[in-house]
Structures are given as structure tokens and as C-alpha cells.
Amino acid sequence: MNHNLFHTFATKMQERGTANFITTPEGKTYTYADALARTGRIAGALQELGVQPGDRVAVQVDKSPEAILLYLATLRIGAVYLPLNTGYTADEIGYFLGDAEPALFVCQPVALEAAKAIAAETNCPCVKTLGTNADGSLMDAVEKAAAYDGIEQRAEDDLAAILYTSGTTGRSKGAMLTHKNLGSNSKSLAEAWRFTEKDRLIHALPIFHTHGLFVACNVILVTGASLYFMSRFDVDAIIAAMPEGTSLMGVPTFYTRLLQDDRLTPELTANMRLFTSGSAPLTAETHQQFEQRTGHAILERYGMTETNMNTSNPYDGDRIAGTVGLPLPGVEIRVTNPEAGDHQPLPQGEIGMLEVRGPNVFKGYWRMPEKTKAELLEDGFFVTGDLALVDERGYVQIVGRDKDLVISGGFNVYPKEVEQVIDAMPEVMESAVIGVSHPDFGEGVTAVVVLLPGQKLEEADVVKALAGHLAKFKQPKRVFFVDALPRNTMGKVQKKQLRDQYKDIYQNA
């Protein structure tokens, strides 16, 4: 039996035929039949360029339908897809190409000369370009290539993709994802979120990340639904798409920006059946405001590069703000004491390290056996690095990253707990709590706050407001106000950047 994920996709693509797969606001459309045929042509070009089963294909291009078809064609020939953030610098790309040793690097047309130089330094044998208008040297090769009509045989445990982690500490790690990892998760999500061929997903996420590529696109492909494919998030375009859309997958900033628009009403969202959020925590205030404005409760879920999706609030049932829901079918979780190191489950309700096990959990880190051994345990559980608790209903609450834990005066302070109290203040839009080196306490709890437009607060106001809600050791020793928190492309607050920015504030304390 062929376990190539593309085999699953191709079966649905043949079944759907002339139904739309991808449509863009500019009017470009690929039916499923078009897409299936085009992947054959791209696959043929990849083979003629020397890509063989198991080879890596590194891709750093702008979002386009053809980029999705390149992903599918890579799977089709049994190669390993390696998407790279379009924001990565030449130095970062050099690391990835040197580490992954791809047979082909596909870049933006404007980056060709720099890419050739990097490829020469890293012994990457072939560089091609792909633009947003189906242009570039790769597409020139596609036009000349003979189509590949087959689907390369793959085992469940063969690699389908490598995704590099953000690398906020140390070297970026390449998470090895198998055909089984991706296939099992897409089917589980499609079932959990009730996707059918009648759905039309508004897609405004980047496609170099698990969320936009493996969650959004794979769910559509296994169900035969359709994508309304936007190059980026744009409020006007999202609002224009909602009357004919059925679902939106977003990050918290999508929803905060939509809430600032008076056109967001129950009437606008009447045809929509599902709004999901992930990649960064959604505040309870955003969750509640969105439901009040639209009648829709945002469904928040939790995943990682190494595991795809692990938990989800239910489609039917309570979607509880501040939680990431229940384990998906086939996924097991446990919360353990990281200091004990015995990986034994803690009593319900206690905060500890979240560990997960299931068919979605990756194979390990590319060429990092020691790192793999440390985080992917012998019993199959993966140590996520996230601190969490499980409440009396079984819902998982993510408290923060282990590395974000603040230890002040010997006491553990979980940033999320402090952030929730600050965020509840009527003047506050959002906040980030970090630990900064302190001569007396080891780390000083420090808050960085963004106010709502037109609001004013002083540092003393925040400290006073927290006094009645948090123990003294949890209260910030300093509060700073900024216009916006630094975020990466998926909307995650970059706390390392904040720690670097404020690292010297207690030097003379």
C-alpha cells in the first residue's frame, strides 16, 4: 500500500474533478483537475532537475497557488518539502541550506543572485525561482518538462517535510514530519471541525508554517473543500470574502483587527460556520468581544511545529476562553514535574510540563540525535516545553513556555497569570510579562503594556490594580508602555526580544 500523503490527496482530487480547489481575489482559479494535472508537470520538472525520493526541496517564496502546487508535487515524487520563512536573512538561509543539504532551492526571482551565492557556499546543486504570477525559472522548466503521472511509493514513516523551529535559543532545529504525521492530523482535524466538500476556507495565513500549510491546506485537500487564497491578511478583503466563505483560520491579530471594524456584524458572518485561532494565545477579552459582535465563539486550538495539532476546543460544546480545549482523537497528554524529571503525571489542576503522544508527533530533529533523545522520550511522549494544567473538565490551559517562566526571589511566576490580570484592565489592549535579571531577586517580574487607543495609565496605576489580585512576588517591579508588542509572522509575541530590550533596567536597583 502506498502511504504517500499525495496518494490520499490525489484520490480526492480525482473525485472532485472540475470543482474549485483554489481561487484568488484576482480571479485566478485552479480546479481540482487542473491542480492534479499541474502537479504532474511540476513533478516532472523536479525530476528533470535531479530531485530524487528522499531529497529535500527548500522553498523561500512569496505566497501563491503555484507554491502550494510545488508542495504537492514534492510529495508526489517522494521528496521532502522544506518551507522557509520569507523573512529569513541570507545568513539564516545559509544555515538551513548547509544543514538540510537540499537538492533544490527555490527562491523569489528578486533574490536569485544572493541565492546562487548562498547555494555555492553550501554546495546546493540547483537554484530556481518562483514568482507570484506563475513566473520564474522553475515554471519555465515546468513548461518544457514531461509530466510525471505516477505517485512515488512511500512508507508511513518516510519523511514528507522538514520544518525548522524559530531558533530563539541556540541553533534552529529541523522537525522531521512523516507522511503519517501529516495525514493522520489532517483527517483528525477535518473530522473534529466538521469540514466537508461544501466548505470554503478563507486563507490569509503564510504558507511556510504548520498553520497555513499543514492545517489549512491539508484539511481542505482531504475533504475536497475549496480555498479562497489571499496573499496576506487584509481586513477589507476578509470582510468582502465572508458572505461566501464558511470558515476562517487565523491568529489572534486577525480577530483584534476585525473587531476594530464596524462592518463586523452577525449579518456579515451569517454564512460562516467556523472561526479558529492558533499560533499564539487568544485573550479572553477578544474571545468574548468577537462572540458578542458576531454570535460566533472562536474555536482555539493548540499545536506545535513538531506535532501539528494536539488539542482543540470542541466544535459542539463549550469553547472556553483561555483554554485550548481537549486532546484530539488519538492524542494523549500528560502534565509532569519538569524538576523531578521522572515524567510521572501530576494531580489534575497542577501546573507542569505538557507532554504529548500520538500519530501526529514528529520523528525527531534532523541530524540532532541528542536533542531528539532529550525531547522525544522512549515511551513516545514529546516534551513540548509548554507549561500547562488540565482543569476538572479535562480542558488544557497553556500557562506559558518553560523558558518564559520567571523565578523571582525563589518563587515561580507564570507570565500568563499576570498577563490575564493586566489584560482585564479596561484601559489595556494587551500585555507581555517577562523576567529580567535583578541583583536581589534573580529575576524581576516586568510588564510591557499596550493601551487601547485614547487611554492613559501610569506605572503606579497598573501596580495598584494588581495589588488586590496577585501575591506580592508576582507583581511587576516595573511596568513599561509601548505602542505594540514585537511579534513574529505568526503573531507570537517575541519575549526574547523584550528581554533583550529591557535587560539592563535593574542594574542599579
Quote the pLDDT of residue 489: 78
Lowest mean pLDDT among 168-172, 346-350, 498-502: 168-172
Quote the pLDDT of residue 319: 96
Q: Which residues contact 24 (CB under 8 A, 6 or more apart)?
A: 65, 228, 229, 230, 231
Q: What is the mean pLDDT of the chain?
A: 94
pLDDT over 60 at 167, yes or no: no
Mean pLDDT to the nearest integer, 291-298: 98
Strand, helix or coil for residue 198: coil
Q: What is the pLDDT of residues 270-286, one digit of tens each?
A: 999 999 999 877 888 88
Mean pLDDT to the nearest integer, 149-166: 95
Q: What is the pLDDT of residues 113-140, one digit of tens each?
A: 999 999 999 999 999 999 999 999 999 9
Quote the pLDDT of residue 168: 41
Mean pLDDT to the nearest integer, 369-385: 95
Quote the pLDDT of residue 413: 84
Mean pLDDT to the nearest integer, 18-36: 97
6-to-14, 63, 157, 254, 444 alpha-carbon distances in Å: 12, 20, 14, 31, 51
Quote the pLDDT of residue 153: 98
Alpha helices in 170-275 (DSSP H): 179-192, 218-223, 235-241, 252-259
Q: What is the pLDDT of residues 427-478, one digit of tens each?
A: 999 999 999 988 778 789 999 999 999 999 999 999 999 887 887 888 999 9
Q: What is the pLDDT of residues 187-237, one digit of tens each?
A: 999 999 999 999 999 999 999 999 999 999 999 999 999 999 999 999 999
Mean pLDDT to the nearest integer, 393-420: 84
Interior/surface letters 312-334, b for 16+ CB within 10 angstroms, e for the rest: bbeeeeebbbbbbbbbbeebebb
Q: What phi, psi does 216 have (nearest 5°)?
A: -65, -60
Residue 282 DSSP symbol: P
pLDDT over 80 at 387, yes or no: yes
How far is Cα 179 from Cα 84, in angstroms, rounded to an integer?
19
Mean pLDDT to the nearest integer, 32-43: 98
pLDDT over 80 at 500, yes or no: yes
Of 409 and 319, the one with more pLDDT: 319
**Strands (DSSP E) along 54-196, which ranges?**
56-60, 80-83, 104-107, 127-129, 159-164, 174-178
